[in-house]
Amino acid sequence: MLGFKSFLTRTGRIKKMNRNKHKLKSQLAFHKQKCISRNNELLDRDEVKEDTEGFRLKTYASSHTYWVQPLGNLYLNTGSINCRDTGLGNLHTLTDELVLEILGLLSGNDLGVLATVSKCFYVFTNHEPIWRNLVLENLSGGFRYNGSWKSTYIGACYPSYVSNIDVLNLKVRDFYSDYLFQSWLCANLEMKLEWLVRDNIVRKRGISVEEFVKNFEEPNKPVLLEGCLDNWDALKKWDRDYLVQLCGDVKFSVGPVEMRLEDYFQYSDQVREERPLYLFDPKFAEKVPNLDSQFDVPAYFQEDLFSVLGKERPDYSWIIVGPAGSGSSFHVDPNSTSAWNAVIKGSKKWILFPPDVIPPGVHPTPDGAEVASPVSIIEWFMNFYGATKSWKRKPIECICKAGEVVFVPNGWWHLVINLEESIAITQNYVSRRNLLNVLDFLKKPNASVLVSGTRDRVNLHDKFRNAIEDSFPGIIDELTRKEEEKQIQQKKLSFWDSVTDSKVGAFKFSF
């Protein structure tokens, strides 16, 4: 068992789960979707496919591993008693999230013992994210995924038991939990067609740099660029076999651990979870220089003023690899930079909101230091995507395929999900168009929290400003003057503009 000191140490590392605010919208409207089984059992996969208003389970999914059902099923099965409550004893008053946080303090051995106490504890202690955390915290990337996180942990820590792992998964009747069921559901749902059909981004092919700057970078608008990767060797060569052979035993950043590409692909081929691990490495070019030589920065993004810092510049270039369902939930790119994202293999669904429109279900703190949002990308689509249909200012959406590039202007909220196994390159950069924004961001009072990608967060503003002045004397003053003139021009409204509403022709007071 855990010692008291160890208990306190691990307690300090608990990460609060953010699913308690926006649960399933009345159990994901399972009453409406007719997914309720009147016989205390889940409908089989074919029935679900027909009756869930467009929701489809992936072909490998049938029912929850342990027959966990959504809480709505219990309300129509009046003769049933939720074994979740009886099996937890005095702990039944705790939320499922809190129960799982407490179980997250235990060792693998303790979880195994607790699983024998009751059917309820058997279900809770086999919740895969608990075992995922144990693997990532204790094995530090020195593992090979073995079908499930529990099997992976036991196989690495207790090799003599490996042949007996997952021989039996008990089916537990009358266990109802929205939280556990939704976690399984989000891991096994296909993307709905209605989530994919909207494609309202501006697409351009063969435009000049000047046109890009005038129509997209200066007004801070996203665009999808076609044809600008045609000369990339990476576009022709980069598939999993080539990358595994080229990179060999080099390890890349995957969440909190580092893994060889071969081990990562073995994981991504087998994984069935709500939030698949994402390979997202900012040092790939240093680790395997040959990768860096097989692509060039598109002409539209050649001006990168952060380069004046040399090796002291924040992280800016990443290789991204992930299976279908992996991706990035809503965020704004670091340090007020703009970005470009080039797909080499696969395809990605993008959703972007302008800086002044916070996406539904996303709750940033006033200082922008933290963002609370649904646990997974699929959960956001299930519970919040539909709300954007009625918005006057709808998000910008697209599917970016191999050979295409998305330009992400600074400050824009965006979400990205891989629709299939995908490989991409992304870079963040600073041009003259967003230099002042970046400098303002770097000197914020809480820069030590907001600035990312560098160890020297507090002094980055002064270092960057001084390096810019040395390399481009007078550029900051010139840009500042132009910005002031632009703001003055925008405020110069005629008298008639100030007292009338041109859209409706009605008089209005503007005192």
Q: DSSP secondary structure string, 371-438?
A: EE--SSHHHHHHHHGGGGGG-SSPPEEEEEETTEEEEE-TT-EEEEEESSSEEEEEEEE--TTTHHHH
Question: CA–CA separation, 274 vs 182, rounded Å?
Answer: 9
The alpha helices in 141-256, defined as continuous H runs, are 149-157, 178-188, 209-212, 233-237, 240-247
Contacts of 441 (CB under 8 A, 6+ apart): 335, 336, 447, 450, 451
Question: CA–CA separation, 451 vs 461, rounded Å?
Answer: 10
Strands 203-205 and 223-226: what pairing? Answer: parallel
Question: CA–CA separation, 72 vs 31, rounded Å?
Answer: 7
Q: Which pLDDT score is estimated for 79?
A: 83
Q: Which two tokens stand for residue 256?
A: 């909190």
Buried/exposed 393-420: b ≥16 CB within 10 Å, e otherwise: eebbbbbbbbbbbbbbbbbbbbbbbbbe
**Cβ(431)–Cβ(303) under 8 Å?**
yes
Q: Which pLDDT score is estimated for 19?
A: 41
Contacts of 190 (CB under 8 A, 6+ apart): 55, 56, 57, 58
Q: Which pLDDT score is estimated for 448?
A: 86
Q: Which pLDDT score is estimated for 223?
A: 98
Residue type at position 283:
K
Radius of gyration for the chain, computed over Cα atoms and rounded to the nearest angstrom: 26
List 415's β-bridge partners, or say none. Answer: 351
Q: Which pLDDT score is estimated for 11?
A: 33
| pLDDT values of the chain reduced to their tens digit, one per residue, 511 residues | 333 233 223 333 333 334 433 333 333 333 333 333 333 333 333 333 333 456 788 777 767 788 899 999 998 888 889 999 999 999 999 999 999 999 999 999 999 999 999 999 999 999 999 999 999 999 977 889 998 999 999 989 888 775 555 546 788 999 999 999 999 999 999 999 999 999 999 999 999 999 999 999 999 999 999 999 999 999 999 999 999 999 999 999 999 999 999 999 999 999 989 999 999 999 999 999 999 999 999 999 999 999 999 999 999 999 999 999 999 999 999 999 999 999 999 999 999 999 999 999 999 998 888 888 888 999 999 999 999 988 989 999 999 999 999 999 999 999 999 999 999 999 999 999 999 999 999 999 988 899 999 988 899 999 999 999 999 999 999 999 998 888 887 776 544 454 444 444 333 333 2
Estimate to the nearest angstrom the gap between the alpha carbon of 344 and the chain centroid. 19
Question: CA–CA separation, 343 vs 347, rounded Å?
Answer: 7
Contacts of 63 (CB under 8 A, 6+ apart): 42, 44, 45
Question: CA–CA separation, 463 vs 472, rounded Å?
Answer: 14
List 69's β-bridge partners, or say none. Answer: 176
Q: Which pLDDT score is estimated for 496?
A: 45
Q: Which pLDDT score is estimated for 162?
A: 56
Report which DSSP code applies to 444.
S
**Cβ(365)–Cβ(437) under 8 Å?**
no
Strands 251-254 and 257-260: what pairing? Answer: antiparallel
The alpha helices in 34-127, defined as continuous H runs, are 45-51, 71-76, 83-88, 96-103, 108-114, 119-125
